[in-house]
């Protein structure tokens, strides 16, 4: 899912210059990305409960949006606008980048380690429980 988020957001910015429409589409993109993350993590936990190999089938599901994008996304060209002013690195940008980097590191470290701790904390826990827990973390994020 995250593979397509960046290009989708940049396409929204390129193709919809009016502010109201762009805000609505960016909201929808965010909602769909969050929903996809929650459902994928939940489905992963459920699939691991049956056979851990099945989880990797979710990666194959990424081919569907790739084919849809390839077939129906119109190709457009436009001139980029450049103001001629050099890029300035601000403190706010550095802080934002640092917070984003820290959050992403935690977001990807927690799913790989929490199932091991989860199994030891709750003796009746299984992979489905870990998947639901991680979906809850995604929903809160």
pLDDT classification of 51: cutoffs 50, 70, 90:
confident
Please classify residue 93 by burial: count the beta carbons closer than 10 Å to its beta carbon, then call 0-12 exposed, 13-18 middle and 19+ buried. Answer: exposed
Contacts of residue 138, Cβ cutoff 8 Å, sequence gap at least 6: 34, 37, 38, 41
pLDDT in tens, 77-119: 665 566 667 767 788 888 888 898 888 777 777 766 766 676 6
For residue 105, what pLDDT is reported?
79
For residues 128 and 45, the answer to whether their CB atoms sit within 8 Å is yes
Distance CA(28)–CA(86), nearest Å, equals 33
- 0.75 surpassed by pTM: no
């Amino acid at each position: 899912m995250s593979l397509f988020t960046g290009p989708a957001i940049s396409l929204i910015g390129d193709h919809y210059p009016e502010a109201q429409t762009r805000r609505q589409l960016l909201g929808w993109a965010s909602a769909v990305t969050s929903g996809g993350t929650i459902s994928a993590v939940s489905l992963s936990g459920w699939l691991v409960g049956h056979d851990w190999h099945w989880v990797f089938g979710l990666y194959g599901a990424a081919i569907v949006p790739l084919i849809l994008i390839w077939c129906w996304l119109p190709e457009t060209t436009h001139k980029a606008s450049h103001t001629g002013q050099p890029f300035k690195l601000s403190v706010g940008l550095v802080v934002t980048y640092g917070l984003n980097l820290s959050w992403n590191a935690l977001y990807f470290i927690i799913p790989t380690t929490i199932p091991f701790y989860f199994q030891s904390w709750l003796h009746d826990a299984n992979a489905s429980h870990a998947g639901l827990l991680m979906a809850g973390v995604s929903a809160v994020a």
